[in-house]
Structure 1
Amino acid sequence: MASSSQASEQARQASRAVPNLAFRRLRGQRSPGEFAAAVRKAAREIGEQVSCDARYVGRVEAGEIRCPNYAYERVFLHMFPGRTLADLGFTARERVRGGRGGRAAQGRGPEPAHPYRPFDIHSDINEESDVLRRAFMTSGTTTVAAASLGLGPGLVPSGRRVGEAEVNAVEEAVRRIRLLDDRHGADGLYQQAAQPLRTAYALLDAGTAARRSTADRLHSGAGELAISVGWLAHDSGRFEDARSHYAEALATARVAGDAALEAHAFCNASFLARDAGRYREAVRSAQAGQGAARRVASARLLSLLSLREAGGWAGLGDRGACEKSLARAHAYFDRGPADTDPEWMSFFGEPELEALQAQCRSALGEWSRAARHARRAVSLQDHRFTRNLALYRAELALDLAHAGAPAEAAWAGQQVLDMLEEVRSTRIQSMLSETARGLGKQRGAEGVDAFLDRVGDSVRRA
């Protein structure tokens, strides 16, 4: 784990970062927020999905991000055709990663790993993902998993103030958890995320932030980390743990006066309550979240919270209230994205909109309508987001089984089973088991027997 002296050294290294003046010139007269919005728009044009915000732009211009990951690289080269990464002010990837083509070629050996971020979230994610997937999905190596989150107890400073290095490490841990969950699901991650969360709150308890802005970022980062860890518990079926983490995040938001964090905590608490069958609580939490979200000025956030409210009404069997909430969600969604949309909402696009409507329809027993929405969610989802694609297909299989389409349900279920080598999610396993129960009386229909046999094997292995 990193020592305090290492933390100090990292802070000194960060202070020596060379500003990226070429990138700053390309931004021109646009504000960092306006430029970040242009980056997200360009990403959508080429089918990429990046969570660019003003802070990311600032880090690039400050020289903290010496080379973007491949997704950002494709977006930047699309925005500025004819230019190379060097033209944009970036350093060659092999030099940033400390490969043999960089430091070794100069006879100095490999560059030492960053004490907090051994795998930088803004480096080559595609290559790292396969390494991390093997660690989580096969050996479950604690050391590799903890290192990938990059926030150990040694980060807590002794006798000095909390600064940029520590806050950046907390924010990077949040992004890393979200990345790994997007690709592999929650079950292999939850236990490994406990230490970064303890470290983040130890930093808060130290109460030694150098500036108010640093303290605000630390509160926000710790709260977002609590929500991320809560989601890992939620998705892996540990509902009481999840409820505790979401409550911790909500308390942090209230102490810091952070409306965006408060809305996020209520959003996840509503989702959890719905999954736990506490539908009235799901409605109340979503409504409270909407109250906080109105201070954030994000139509997409209000859309998602309206969908959470609709899910609660559907669970209560109140079709009229559900329809009103869905209509409100669509109205907010149609206003489009904005610079004020929270970074964590990068997942919320048309596929998720369709998937959440499918969940409402299935709760109301409208299985054919649910299947139509789920099928659309699958068709729209970017295949690189493995976990959500598996979830949407599992929803489709379940809806089709109840809608009286056993062959198509079995086919969709088989596709989900094919993805379980990469995705571990108790939620998805439960949906497959429910689909199997629904198809139990349909043995003999095309593909059903094969699906039921595979589900049985999957459950036994789990």
Structure 2
Amino acid sequence: MVSTGAVPNLAFRRLRGQRSAGEFAAAVRRAAREIGEQVACDARYIGRVESGEIRCPNYAYERVFLHMFPGTTLVDLGFSSRETVRGRGARATADTPPPTAPHRDTDEESDVLRRVFMTSGTATMATATLGLGGTPAAAAARPAPRRVGEAEVSAVEKAVRQIRLLDDRHGGDGLYRKASQPLRIAYALLDSGVAAKRSTAGRLHAGAGELAISVGWLAHDSGRFEDARSHYAEALATARVAGDAALEAHAFCNASFLARDTGRPRESVRAAEAGQRAAQPLGSPRLLALLALREAGGRAGLGDRTGCERAIGRAHAAFGRGRSDADPEWMSFFREAELEFLEAQCWSVLGEWSRAARHARRAVRLQDPHFTRNLALYRTELTWDLARAGEAAQAAAEGHRVLDLLDRVRSTRIRAMLAGSVTALRPQRGTREVREFLERYAEVSGTQE
């Protein structure tokens, strides 16, 4: 639906010329590939631009459009300047995140993550001293390690938060390689073994371990499963060395999730149970709830319906006890929407498609729309469950909504889930709604229908 008061973008319409919206969208996708971008442009997106609904494109589209029309600016192309759209009083559009949740596109994220480690002279000096920014010869000639203090530890902790924020917005595909550099720096700081104080050493171990988990998750989300497994194991080893039960519980939580996603349900259950043992004395019911859901997912994969139901019951009971000051910072994503989504996945694995769809629909309804990646994930799960439940037209409608979000989300995991839904819907292509969705999916993904 076009926003009230939208002004048509006549300049952009003139640039399209005699080409149809679909032909122009194909040209945009070709231009994106020429510069290494990935945009899910289709005729609907072009229509939203020309109607004025999209006042300013995201960074990826900006680069593509300026590549297509060299020497122009966004204003020349009929868009509002980014400053006016993102200013304090500007209204957010469907293509522009709200001012309360600023972010950068993935090509700028390497700079964001690098700057995290360059915010103080001390941190810069420590990085240089450890030989992380120069040539092998420079590293070999480095002086004795310096003492690690507040600046370095704060930089590691800030990198963890920044990666999580960017993942919430975009997914893991564009972030993984760029996030590996801060991880190497963090472990080099650990290896220097010269923390100024014992408390600093504890924070550095925790920060490096959390960073390993965050980078592991980016690998997991982008389909690099062996890399993810390695990073989670690294975090677990760090937790064991430091005697950090909270970090250990987190590492087991993610290891359980990865094992479930890679077809090792028994390992998933064992890791979730180990995580619950580590988490028990920490005083966080929400952490225990999430770990119980990880166990439930593994048990569903084993076909253990009774064990799955019991684990889900424990999860609801623990979640119902509410928040606690002991809840880890990384669990900010675990709200009621995530609870519903994880339960939906359990019922889906057990083949109860309609029940799964009910929970997935609740997850979509409850999710904060600012967290684009999770909203796309929940809608993809709903698409799959509806398709398998025989609700083909509803599944197609949800599939369209997923495609609307894919310009802003780069997640191999989500795209693979959507491809599974497409496969499930193909036998129903005689239905108009399904046929239109399949045609749009083929256009956006570059596949044949």
Decide which of 451, 458, 461 is 2:437's aligned counterpart: 451
Decide which of 142, 147, 157 is 1:161's aligned counterpart: 147
Q: 3-state DSSP class of the match of 1:132?
A: coil
Query: What is aligned with 1:438?
Result: 424
Aligned residues: 332
Q: CA deviation at 1:173?
A: 0.1
Distance 2:117 2:101 in 1: 15
Q: Tell whether 2:402 aligns with 1:413.
A: no
Q: Tell whether 2:172 aligns with 1:186.
A: yes
Deviations 1:66-112 (A, max 9, x none): xxxxxxxxxxxxxxxxxxxxxxxxxxxxxxxxxxxxxxxxxxxxxxx
Residue type matched to 1:438 in 2?
A
Residue type matched to 1:132 in 2?
R
Decide which of 114, 120, 132 is 1:147's aligned counterpart: 114
Query: What is aligned with 1:243?
Result: 229
Q: Tell whether 2:351 aligns with 1:355.
A: no
Which residues of 2 match residues 194-343 of structure 1 at below 5 A? Answer: 194-343=180-329
Q: CA deviation at 1:451?
A: 1.3
Q: 3-state DSSP class of the match of 1:447?
A: helix
Which residues of 2 match residues 2-17 of structure 1 at below 5 A? Answer: none
Distance 1:262 1:371 in 2: 33
Residue type matched to 2:404 in 1?
D
Deviating more after overlay: 447-456 vs 404-413: 447-456
Query: What is aligned with 1:94?
Result: none
* Pair 219,293 (structure 1): closer, same or farther in 2 beyond 3 Å: same
Residue type matched to 2:172 in 1?
A
* Pair 131,366 (structure 1): closer, same or farther in 2 beyond 3 Å: closer
Structure 1 runs (4+) deviating above 6 angstroms are none
Q: 3-state DSSP class of the match of 2:446?
A: helix
Query: What is aligned with 1:404?
Result: 390
* Pair 153,445 (structure 1): closer, same or farther in 2 beyond 3 Å: farther
Structure 2 residues not aligned, in runs of 5+:
1-96, 130-144
Q: CA deviation at 1:147?
A: 3.3
Contact (CA 8 Å) 1:148, 1:176: kept in 2 or not? Answer: no
Q: Tell whether 2:372 aligns with 1:390.
A: no
Q: CA deviation at 1:447?
A: 1.6
Distance 2:179 2:100 in 1: 18
Residue type matched to 2:333 in 1?
F
Deviations 1:406-442 (A, max 9, x none): 1100100110100011111111101110000000000
Distance 2:416 2:173 in 1: 13
Residue type matched to 1:147 in 2?
R
Distance 2:369 2:441 in 1: 23
Q: CA deviation at 1:142?
A: 7.0
Distance 2:403 2:210 in 1: 31
Contact (CA 8 Å) 1:153, 1:195: kept in 2 or not? Answer: no
Contact (CA 8 Å) 1:299, 1:332: kept in 2 or not? Answer: yes
TM-score by length of 2: 0.71
Q: 3-state DSSP class of the match of 1:351?
A: helix
Contact (CA 8 Å) 2:299, 2:305: kept in 1 or not? Answer: yes
Deviating more after overlay: 144-153 vs 341-350: 144-153
Distance 2:115 2:348 in 1: 38
Distance 2:116 2:437 in 1: 36
Deviations 1:32-57 (A, max 9, x none): xxxxxxxxxxxxxxxxxxxxxxxxxx
TM-score by length of 1: 0.69
Contact (CA 8 Å) 1:237, 1:427: kept in 2 or not? Answer: yes
Distance 2:100 2:338 in 1: 26
Q: 3-state DSSP class of the match of 1:421?
A: coil
Instruction: Output the aligned Cα RMSD.
Output: 1.8
Distance 2:331 2:206 in 1: 15
Q: 3-state DSSP class of the match of 1:339?
A: coil
Contact (CA 8 Å) 1:145, 1:192: kept in 2 or not? Answer: no
Query: What is aligned with 2:54?
Result: none
